[in-house]
Amino acid sequence: MSENFRLALVGCGRISKNHFEAISRIDGIDLVGVADIVGERAESAAAEYDVPAFASLKAMLEGVDCDIVAVATPSGLHPTLGIEAANAGKHVVSEKPMAISLEGADSLIAACADNGVRLFVVKQNRLNPAIQLVKRAVDKGRFGRIHSANCTVRWARPQEYYDQAPWRGTWAMDGGAFMNQASHYVDLIQWLAGPVESVVAITATQERKIEAEDSGAAVLRFRNGAIGVLDVTMLTYPKNLEGSITILGDKGSVKIGGTAVNRVETWLFEDYDDDDKLIEAAATTPPNVYGFGHQGYYNNVLRLLRGESVPDTNGAEGRKSLEIILAIYDSSRTGRAVKL
């Protein structure tokens, strides 16, 4: 039950720091190697965490013994590299989104199943203390019938952000505001309010010089009859303003706000529950929009591999938000409602 697991990470860019910091705080997962096609990035991470650096996943799989491969590369590469790791018999931790097409997601899921390895898709915002309280309220039926769910993502991504890497904002490797920045919020709204039946959406590239969208809005109809709205922009001036979710039912109203669903702003229910005493303690002050959830996510990975838990988000869970995002893009292109 105390078995340690060795992890190798491919993709030493912006998000990798959250993985490295989370792993360094967990007794039971050891970082054993890093890889990146940009040599200086791999060498920098390797020097900081005292592990060998490699120029490719293939070289890393040949050069170190590992049990888990974490894929933190551009989104379009997640399925290819995840499948390569699975075929080598390694468990796979994929950053969001797990793919930018359903075909890619399904191929990754199938490869992990065929090789008898686990697939974990990082959805760290589910682990925010405030979001955990909302999930418990939903599961207890405290909202009664949910009528409305809204996610607002008002963040700032200047042109300099996109210019830092040629893959950002491209259809082949990234997607836009919904696929990249807001994908965690798409996940939250369906996780908390229920399965989505159909989507109507408008997206636009208003300011940034990228292929994909920098802004958009989507109206969701849930299977339970609720109506939802996703309001997303990367054009907020001068900095990230809000990353929130609001859920309204006939017996409860909740808004979790802040810049990254990190603060309870409204918490009103018809009936008392002991969780009501926890709302102030649930507030966090994350240093960035990624929050603190990566450590909790890796703790779940460790517990599952030790046989102590069930997965927080596996391939099937990761696929749900991807399907909604692709429906948003389809609706925006055609001007029609898209059924899921």
The per-residue pLDDT string of the chain (340 residues; one tens digit each, 9 = 90 and over) reads 468 999 999 999 999 999 999 999 999 999 999 999 999 999 999 999 999 999 999 999 999 999 999 999 999 999 999 999 999 999 999 999 999 999 999 999 999 999 999 999 999 899 999 999 999 999 999 999 999 999 999 999 999 999 999 999 999 999 999 999 999 999 999 999 999 999 999 999 999 999 999 999 999 999 999 999 999 999 999 999 999 999 999 999 999 999 999 999 999 999 999 999 999 888 877 565 555 579 999 999 999 999 998 888 899 999 999 999 999 999 999 999 999 9
Q: Which of 242, 259, 282, 314 minimizes the C-alpha distance to 137?
A: 282
**Which residue do the tokens 């002050």 mark?**
285
Give me the residues paired with residue 153 across strands: 232, 243
Residue 204 sits in the same domain as residue 63: no
Residue 117 sits in the same domain as residue 136: no
Residue 140 sits in the same domain as residue 58: no
Q: Which of 260, 322, 264 minimizes the C-alpha distance to 291?
A: 260
Residue 56 sits in the same domain as residue 192: no
CATH number assigned to the domain comprising residue 244 = 3.30.360.10
Q: Is the dihedral of CA 138, 155, 290, 123 positive or negative?
A: positive
**Residue 313 and residue 321 in contact, taking contact as beta carbons nearer than 8 Å:** no
CA distances from 268 to 137, 265, 274, 321 (A): 11, 10, 13, 28
Residue at 296 is within a domain:
no
Which three-class secondary structure state does DSSP give residue 283? coil
Q: What is the reported pLDDT for 286?
A: 58
Give me the residues paired with residue 148 across strands: 227, 248
Residue at 204 is within a domain:
yes
Residue 275 sits in the same domain as residue 184: yes
Residue at 272 is within a domain:
yes
From the DSSP assignment, how many helices (H) and strands (E) are in the chain?
10, 14
**Residue 184 and residue 157 in contact, taking contact as beta carbons nearer than 8 Å:** no
Cα separation of 26 and 305, whole Å?
Answer: 14
Residue 64 sits in the same domain as residue 135: no
Q: Residue type for 109, please?
A: I
Which residues, 6+ apart, have CB-to-CB distance to 231 below 8 Å? 150, 151, 152, 153, 154, 217
Q: What is the reported pLDDT for 2?
A: 62
Cα separation of 326 and 178, whole Å?
Answer: 9
Which three-class secondary structure state does DSSP give residue 35? strand
Residue 41 sits in the same domain as residue 75: yes
Give me the residues paired with residue 7 across strands: 31, 68
Residue 206 sits in the same domain as residue 244: yes
Residue at 298 is within a domain:
no
Cα separation of 255 and 149, whole Å?
Answer: 10
Cα separation of 286 and 284, whole Å?
Answer: 6
Which three-class secondary structure state does DSSP give residue 271? coil
Residue 87 sits in the same domain as residue 159: no
Domain boundary, last residue among 121, 154, 184 = 121
Which three-class secondary structure state does DSSP give residue 25? coil
Residue at 304 is within a domain:
no
Residue 92 sits in the same domain as residue 150: no
Question: What's the number of domains the chain is made of?
Answer: 2
Radius of gyration of the chain from its Cα atoms, rounded to whole angstroms: 20
Range of the domain at 136: 126-286+321-339
Cα separation of 271 and 252, whole Å?
Answer: 9
Cβ neighbour number for residue 113 with a 10 Å cutoff: 13
Residue at 309 is within a domain:
no
Domain boundary, last residue among 121, 152, 171 = 121
**Residue 36 and residue 13 in contact, taking contact as beta carbons nearer than 8 Å:** yes
Residue at 303 is within a domain:
no
Residue 114 sits in the same domain as residue 201: no
Domain boundary, last residue among 104, 121, 138 = 121
CATH number assigned to the domain comprising residue 10 = 3.40.50.720
Residue 143 sits in the same domain as residue 254: yes
Residue at 300 is within a domain:
no
Q: Which of 304, 338, 276, 324 minimizes the C-alpha distance to 102?
A: 324
